Amino acid sequence: MASTGFHVVPLTPELWPALEELFGPQGPCYGCWCNHFRMAPKLRKPLLGEGARQLFEQRVKQGPPPGVLAFLGDVPVGWLQIGPRAHVPEWNNPRRASTPLPDAPAQDERNWAASCFFVRKGFRSQGVTGALLDGGIDFARRSGARLLEAAPMANDTKRSGEGLYVGPESVFRRAGFAEVARHKEGRPLMRLVL
């Protein structure tokens, strides 16, 4: 997104050190390392910390890129996990705000999810989330996605920065997403047809 100065690129293996720098030694969200939506809690929780870091590093090395990184110059400032719904099975759980609709089944690899954001402290509220989403939309289009969905927080002004890991609704609306369902209060399921 040129107007903000942020440069957004897919997370490829050579960029792993930048992701590690962004996340810090403990990793974001209590050591999750972006495995929260990738596996059931009983499998994920024992791995929190170093085990989760190793698992996600292996995922990045195997490809395809599981998301996009935002940079300001050479400094990594944000991350968006984005890719086929099938790659984040817990995001498709029928009890979640992100439960898939019949016209966009999780098994169809052309149906994508923007599931998790992380923005470096000191860069929050500066447009990083919007730049990540714009870059993620471009990445999804280039990768052959048919549609992109998200389940952001509707009341973004009343949540902590950490609570907004799913993104604020306003950023998705500005990017052209429309609400297609509301499985949970305050968490619209939003969609952008690509």
Residue 113 within a domain: yes
* Domain-located, residue 78: yes
Rounded mean pLDDT of the chain? 88
**Number of folded domains that form the chain:** 1
Is there a domain that residue 51 lies in? no
DSSP string across the chain? -GGGTEEEEE--GGGHHHHHHHH-TT-HHHHTTT-TTTS-HHHHGGGTTHHHHHHHHHHHHHSS--EEEEEETTEEEEEEEEEEGGG-GGGG-TTSTTPPPTTS-TTSTTEEEEEEEEE-TTSTTTTHHHHHHHHHHHHHHHTT-SEEEE--BS-GGGS-TGGGTT-BHHHHHHTT-EEEEEEETTEEEEEEE-
Write the pLDDT tens digit of every residue in 122-163.
Answer: 998 899 999 999 999 999 999 999 999 999 998 655 555 545
Residue 177 domain flag? yes
Identify the CATH number of the domain in which residue 108 sits: 3.40.630.30
> What percentage of the chain has pLDDT greater than the value 70?
91
Q: What is the pTM of this model?
A: 0.90
Give residue 158's domain range.
2-11+69-193
Is 55 within the bounds of a domain?
Answer: no
pLDDT in tens, 66-118: 999 999 999 999 999 999 999 998 899 888 899 999 999 999 999 999 999 99
The verdict on residue 48 lying in a domain is: no
